[in-house]
């Protein structure tokens, strides 16, 4: 049994936007934790939701401390910072609203018992009840590869390995570093940007595969493409803040001279705007395939092609001029 004097108080911070139903499932999983209820609180920051999220939270009566806050839609960075500032625990545990926690997740995240502050990364699997389609299949493959890599002895963490969908951090350390950069106010890269600052400060991440959460993944293809468009914009922001990391960012792969990369780069640069409609049409077809639950190699390849189109489109928009964009992806 946990000792109140020796076990740390955890503050679980969940941010949400228009996902009331899955948020409720996430909270219900936290109610089943083996970690003593006296030793954790849950703070939900509702980032401008217009659905029934606030009503769901008002009706939910768990046996753990629950606090929910509403703010004008300002993005993940702002919402997470707000939650962390409200936290009373020694450790801030960030969970995404679609993470269904294993019953031991909080107990495993409570392993912050070293003298120096640290960040502990949990494992993220794909929830089995997620809709069966090519996006789920791709995410399962990524999850297996990513977290198997982290388990290797002596593995050296990169900022690209650290996600705050299931990660805990010493709260004083988090606040000392300034939290998430709130200029990253749309989807993408806010967690990696903080991760880079953490690594630069000398913090050594610890990976605990027993701190397991399952992501309920129900994203449609339209939202998938919109997210990569947003990541493209965020990558330029990341580069402008941390220019020394240029070779580590997604667009750096276009510096390669492989036939595949050269073909796609030439295609995107030379593609007239009126022909871009072909990709919008392709996106619509993929959305239909997604709803039908189709998957396979062909859909995976089309997914990558469409994803890269929207990523580059977002990067191009952020660059402002076509010349600046071309120089960036050519490594000039």
- Considering the domain architecture, whether residues 178 and 245 belong to the same structural domain is answered as no
Q: How far apart are CA 170 and CA 203, in angstroms?
A: 11
**How many structural domains comprise the chain?**
2
- Considering the domain architecture, whether residues 67 and 200 belong to the same structural domain is answered as yes
Share of the chain above pLDDT 90, in %: 69
Distance of CA 327 to the CA centre of its chain: 29
- Considering the domain architecture, whether residues 191 and 79 belong to the same structural domain is answered as yes
- Which helix (H) or strand (E) segment is 305 a member of? helix 297-319
Query: Is 87 among the domain residues?
Result: yes
Picking from 184, 215, 246, the residue at the C-terminal end of a domain is 215
Q: How far apart are CA 175 and CA 305, in angstroms?
A: 39
- Considering the domain architecture, whether residues 245 and 300 belong to the same structural domain is answered as yes
User: Model-level pTM?
Assistant: 0.90
- Considering the domain architecture, whether residues 248 and 130 belong to the same structural domain is answered as no
Query: Is 3 among the domain residues?
Result: no
Q: How far apart are CA 46 and CA 83, in angstroms?
A: 10
Rounding to the nearest 10 degrees, give the CA dihedral for residues 245, 250, 255, 261: 170
Q: Which domain holds residue 156?
A: 10-215
CATH, residue 111? 3.90.550.10
Q: How far apart are CA 80 and CA 44, in angstroms?
A: 9
- Considering the domain architecture, whether residues 129 and 47 belong to the same structural domain is answered as yes
Q: Which residues contact 285 (CB under 8 A, 6 or more apart)?
A: none
Q: 70 near 144, Cβ under 8 Å?
A: no
Q: Which residues pair with 120 in a beta bridge?
A: 168, 206
- Considering the domain architecture, whether residues 42 and 160 belong to the same structural domain is answered as yes
Picking from 196, 215, 234, the residue at the C-terminal end of a domain is 215
Report, as an integer, the average pLDDT of 287-295.
67
Per-residue pLDDT band for 88 (boundaries 50, 70, 90) equals: very high
Query: Is 83 among the domain residues?
Result: yes
Query: Is 60 among the domain residues?
Result: yes
- Considering the domain architecture, whether residues 261 and 142 belong to the same structural domain is answered as no
- Considering the domain architecture, whether residues 139 and 40 belong to the same structural domain is answered as yes
Query: Is 25 among the domain residues?
Result: yes
- Considering the domain architecture, whether residues 198 and 153 belong to the same structural domain is answered as yes
pLDDT in tens, 133-176: 888 888 999 999 999 999 998 899 999 999 999 999 999 999 99
Per-residue pLDDT band for 1 (boundaries 50, 70, 90) equals: very low
Picking from 215, 235, 260, the residue at the C-terminal end of a domain is 215
Query: Is 146 among the domain residues?
Result: yes
Q: To the nearest 5 percent, what fractions of the chain are helix, strand and coil?
A: 50, 15, 35
- Assign 37 to helix, strand or coil: helix
Q: 73 near 17, Cβ under 8 Å?
A: yes
Query: Is 63 among the domain residues?
Result: yes
Query: Is 5 among the domain residues?
Result: no
- Considering the domain architecture, whether residues 183 and 230 belong to the same structural domain is answered as no
Show the CA angle centred on residue 282, arms to residues 279 and 288, nearest 5°.
150
- Considering the domain architecture, whether residues 149 and 174 belong to the same structural domain is answered as yes
Q: Is the pLDDT of residue 311 over 50?
A: yes
Predicted local distance difference test score (pLDDT) of residue 118: 83
Q: 179 near 194, Cβ under 8 Å?
A: yes
């Amino acid at each position: 049994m946990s000792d109140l004097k020796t076990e740390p108080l955890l503050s679980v911070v969940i941010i949400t936007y228009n996902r009331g139903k899955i948020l409720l499932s996430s909270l219900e999983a936290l109610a089943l934790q083996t970690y003593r209820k006296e030793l954790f609180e849950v703070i939900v920051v509702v980032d401008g939701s217009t659905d029934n999220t606030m009503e769901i939270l008002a009706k939910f009566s768990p046996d753990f401390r629950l606090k929910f806050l509403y703010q004008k839609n300002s993005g993940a960075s702002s919402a997470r910072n707000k939650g962390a500032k409200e936290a009373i625990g020694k450790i801030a545990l960030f969970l995404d609203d679609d993470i269904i926690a294993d019953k031991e997740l909080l107990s495993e995240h409570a392993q912050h018992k070293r003298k120096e502050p640290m960040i502990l990364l949990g494992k993220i699997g794909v929830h089995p009840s997620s809709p069966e389609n090519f996006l789920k299949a791709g995410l399962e493959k990524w999850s297996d590869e990513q977290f198997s890599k982290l388990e290797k002895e002596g593995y050296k963490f990169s900022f690209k390995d650290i996600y705050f969908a299931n990660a805990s951090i010493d709260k004083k350390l988090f606040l000392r570093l300034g939290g998430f950069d709130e200029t990253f106010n749309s989807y993408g890269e806010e967690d990696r940007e903080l991760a880079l600052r953490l690594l630069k400060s000398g913090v050594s991440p610890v990976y605990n595969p027993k701190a397991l959460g399952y992501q309920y993944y129900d994203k449609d293809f339209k939202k998938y493409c919109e997210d990569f468009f947003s990541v493209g914009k965020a990558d330029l922001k990341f580069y402008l803040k941390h220019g020394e990391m240029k070779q580590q960012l997604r667009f750096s792969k276009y510096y390669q001279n492989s036939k595949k990369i050269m073909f796609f780069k030439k295609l995107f640069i030379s593609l007239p705007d009126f022909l871009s409609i072909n990709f919008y049409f392709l996106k619509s077809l993929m959305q239909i395939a997604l709803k039908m639950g189709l998957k396979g190699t062909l859909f995976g390849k089309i997914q990558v092609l469409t994803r890269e189109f929207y990523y580059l489109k977002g990067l191009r928009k952020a660059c402002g001029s076509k010349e600046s964009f071309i120089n960036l992806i050519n490594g000039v």
